[in-house]
Structures are given as structure tokens and as C-alpha cells.
Amino acid sequence: MLIRIGYDIELAITAPTTLLGALHVHPSRQPDLLAAEQFRTDPALPMQPYRDGFGNEIMRIDIPPGTASIRLSNHAVVRDSGLPEAMAAGAIRHELKDLPADTLQFLLPSRYCEVDSELLAFAWNRFGQGPDGWGRVQAICDYVHQHIQFDYKQARSDRTALDGWREGVGVCRDFAHLAVTLCRCMNIPARYSTGYLGDIGVEPSPAPMDFSAWFEAYLGGQWHTFDARHNKRRIGRIKMAHGRDASDVPITMVFGWNQLDRFEVVTDEMENAQAASPHTRGTAR
């Protein structure tokens, strides 16, 4: 299967600044690109790519004085198996002493994931006597999927996992933050992921296309994808970045005042690409 991906983002600014963006396909999926991503800025500005501490490809753009707005666009075609994501129902939870050192940071509290809160006792009471390993992470997904009501209109950037748990409402990043936190409470390393997820193999959503958020749990010696928002194995998920939570992997981070004036995302099967209509701004699925 071939999947067309891309975006068109425009930000208004009022002063010279620096923009950092997780604007490219994650290095783990770059071998699947048919050709290099066609990334552009308008106005054309020097760009400095680098790898952050999580292995994501980040773009640094220094915006000079006199620039009133910056437009970021990209498009590419990605090969995909066209199959639902694999399950590993027998994947075990590792004892703490057996975890690789580089996974330990994904057990700690982070900005949006308050492991050191009342969620710790709740997690052990709710999931401590149930299945272990893969089954425990799936039980967490089942709970979060049922507990949080998806609502675009109630999205907000400062909602933490604890807030989402108490309020019972949110968007895809809130589902991911709560599931990540509950996994960490149970000593299962979990990290937040973001990228493209189109309506491939599922009923199309009437909502505008956007980037999506999910999470990965470390079980059986490797990272596995889970999605508490949709709670099913999906087709065509394309990662852009991962980190401890959303604060580590914003699509764009601008130092200073800025306003989002344009936000369009495309992720389509190539067979449908010519028929796809333009997308408008939306909140992450």
C-alpha cells in the first residue's frame, strides 16, 4: 500500500524568533519513503536538522526580523504493509531489574503524566490483580477508552493525565497521556507518540484530518504500539516523533507569541489521493 502524507501550516509572528518542529517522518519509517520528503518554508529560510535526545528528527528554523508569518509545507509518499498493526499477546512485563537503562526515563513522572499522584494507588487497585504483560496494557487501554469521552470542543493544551482522569473528557493526546501514566504506575515503560493516522480500513470520520497521538509500551524486549483513543489495531499509522509526553514532541514550538492561521493535514491511500478533498483545521484524532 502507498500512503500520501503531508501538511500545510501557517503561523503569524510579531518578532524574530526560533521555531523547532517535529516536522518529518520518524527515522524508523524513513526507509519506507518512496523519495525524500518535500519540506518547504515560505519565506525560504535556512534550516538546521538535528536529532533530539529521543532520536527524533527535529528541524530548527531561525526566523529573522521583519517576518510577519511563516508557512511550513511538506508532502511525501510512504510504503506500508496495508495490514493491521501486529499483536503480541504473549509479550511479558519486565521486572525492574531487567529493564534496559534507556527505558527507565519512561517510568518517571513528566509534565503531563503525574505518576506521583493519586493515579498510582488507583492503578494498582484497578490493574494489579488482573492480567500481566500485554494483557495489562490492553486492560489499561480498555479502561481509558471507556473512561474518557472524546470531545473536540473541550480540547485544551494544559490538561494533564490527572485532569483527564478527573474530568473524563479530552482528545487523543489526553487518552495517550492517561494510558502512559497508568502504565508507568504499573512499572511498564510507556512513551507518547505522534504522527499520521488516516481513515484506512475504518469508517471515515467527518472531522477534519489532523495529526494523531498514541503511545508505545515496552514489553517482551521491544516497543509496541497501543491506541487508547481508538482501541483497535489500525492500518497505516506513520510515526513522526516520540517522547515522555506531548511537551517533548510538539509539531511546532515557537519561542514567543504566534498564532495558527492555517492547519491542513493529508494522509490518504494513494488510490484515493486524487479524489481526496482539501482538509481544514481540526483537533488531533
CATH number, domain of 63, equals 2.60.40.2250
- Whether residues 65 and 144 share a domain: the answer is no
pLDDT of residue 204: 86
Q: Say whether both 110 and 147 belong to one domain.
A: yes
If asked whether residues 104 and 65 sit together in one domain, one would say no
| pLDDT, tens only, 212-226 | 999 999 999 999 999
Is residue 281 domain-resident? no
Residues forming a β-bridge with 225: 216
**Same structural domain for residues 146 and 228?**
yes
Q: Tell me how many domains the chain contains.
A: 2
* Residue 118 maps to a domain: yes
pTM greater than 0.85: yes
* 227-251 tens-digit pLDDT: 999 999 999 999 999 999 999 999 9
Question: Which pLDDT tens digit goes with each residue over 139-186?
Answer: 999 999 999 999 988 999 999 999 999 999 999 999 999 999 999 999
Residue-averaged pLDDT of the chain: 94
Residue 280, in any domain of the structure: no
Q: Is the dihedral of CA 41, 42, 48, 53 positive or negative?
A: negative
Residue 284 has pLDDT above 80, yes or no: no
Does residue 221 form part of some domain?
Answer: yes
Report, in this order, helix, strand and coil percent for the chain, each rounded to 5: 25, 30, 45
Predicted local distance difference test score (pLDDT) of residue 280: 34
260 and 237 in a single domain? The answer is no
The model's pLDDT over 179-213, given as tens digits with 9 standing for 90+, comes to 999 999 999 999 999 999 999 999 888 888 899 99
Taking only the tens place, the pLDDT of each residue in 81-106 is 999 999 999 999 999 999 999 999 99
* Grid cell for residue 213: 497521538
Predicted local distance difference test score (pLDDT) of residue 250: 94
Same domain, 160 and 228: yes
Taking the C-alpha atoms of residue 84 and residue 232, their distance in angstroms, rounded to an integer, is 9
Question: What's the domain range around 108?
Answer: 96-247
Q: Tell me, what CATH number does 218's domain have?
A: 3.10.620.30
Does 134 score more than 80 pLDDT? yes
pLDDT of residue 272: 47
Q: How many CB atoms lie within 10 A of CB 74?
A: 17
Calpha distance 65→176 (Å, rounded): 38
pLDDT greater than 80 at residue 281:
no
The mean pLDDT value for 34-54 works out to: 96
For residues 100 and 216, state if they share a domain: yes
